[in-house]
């Protein structure tokens, strides 16, 4: 039983560090360019990824000076889910709130969440720069929809979500360091 955490944290470390650092830097630069052009960052996920979206959007805004929003308001979720179907609420929210030139970060641990996939398609159709974060199977549908696609190599929700979170707060911290 004492080996569980050693193995768990080792797996987490491997997953977090198994990313192309140039892609993370490219995302940081795209976010800064988006901000400099007067546009915003939209961060969207479900469940734990929605909570992470809120955290990261606030960090972008407060700590990095990047205007960022998320769609986690209960009234928006329930209204759009009821009126348009849960699989379409992200697509509709992006359609109502996004502007051409914005940057969308769409997160799905499995890469198979229909609402996130439909949101990514809408973002792409609207000309938004689109970044996806997913895990589990590398050839998941979300992986095909972004300008930049980050994939966490794990089948564990918690490992995938925490990897995504670390990557995103790392991007926030890189932006802060570049502005100093």
**How do residues 76-106 score in pLDDT, each as one tens digit?**
999 999 999 999 999 999 999 999 999 999 9
35-89 confidence digits (pLDDT tens): 999 999 999 999 999 999 999 999 999 999 999 999 999 999 999 999 999 999 9
Q: What are phi and psi of 150, to 5 degrees?
A: -100, 135
The fraction of the chain above a pLDDT of 90, given in percent, is 98
Mean pLDDT value of segment 19-41:
98
Report, in angstroms and rounded to the nearest whole number, the Rg of the chain calculated over CA atoms.
Answer: 16
pLDDT band (50, 70, 90) for residue 23: very high
Q: What is the pLDDT of residue 2?
A: 75
146-169 confidence digits (pLDDT tens): 999 999 999 999 999 999 999 999
Q: What is the pLDDT of residue 57?
A: 98
Top CATH class, 3-179: alpha beta
Tokens of 174: 């890189």
Q: Hunting for tokens 């589990």 — which residue is that?
A: 136
Going by C-alpha positions, the residue among 160, 134, 172 that lies closest to residue 12 is 160
Mean pLDDT value of segment 18-35:
97
The runs of H, that is alpha helices, within 37-113 are 48-62, 74-84, 89-97
Q: Where are the domains of the chain?
A: 3-179
Q: What is the pLDDT of residue 1?
A: 65
Provide the CB-side half-sphere exposure for 175 (13 A, CA).
28
């Amino acid at each position: 039983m004492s080996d569980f955490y050693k193995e768990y944290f080792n797996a987490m470390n491997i997953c977090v560090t198994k990313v192309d650092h140039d892609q993370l830097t490219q995302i940081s630069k795209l976010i800064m360019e988006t901000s400099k052009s007067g546009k915003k960052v939209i961060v969207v996920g479900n469940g734990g990824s929605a909570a992470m979206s809120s955290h990261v959007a606030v960090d972008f805004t407060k700590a990095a000076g990047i205007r960022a929003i998320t769609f986690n308001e209960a009234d928006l979720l329930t209204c759009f889910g009821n009126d348009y179907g849960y699989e379409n609420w992200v697509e509709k929210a992006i359609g109502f709130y996004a502007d051409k030139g914005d940057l969308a970060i769409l997160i799905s641990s499995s890469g198979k969440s229909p609402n996130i996939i439909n949101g990514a398609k809408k973002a792409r159709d609207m000309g938004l720069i689109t970044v996806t974060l997913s895990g589990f199977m590398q050839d998941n549908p979300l992986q095909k929809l972004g300008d930049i696609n980050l994939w966490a190599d794990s089948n564990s929700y918690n490992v995938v979500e925490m990897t995504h979170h670390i990557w995103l707060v790392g991007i926030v911290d890189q932006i802060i360091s570049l502005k100093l």
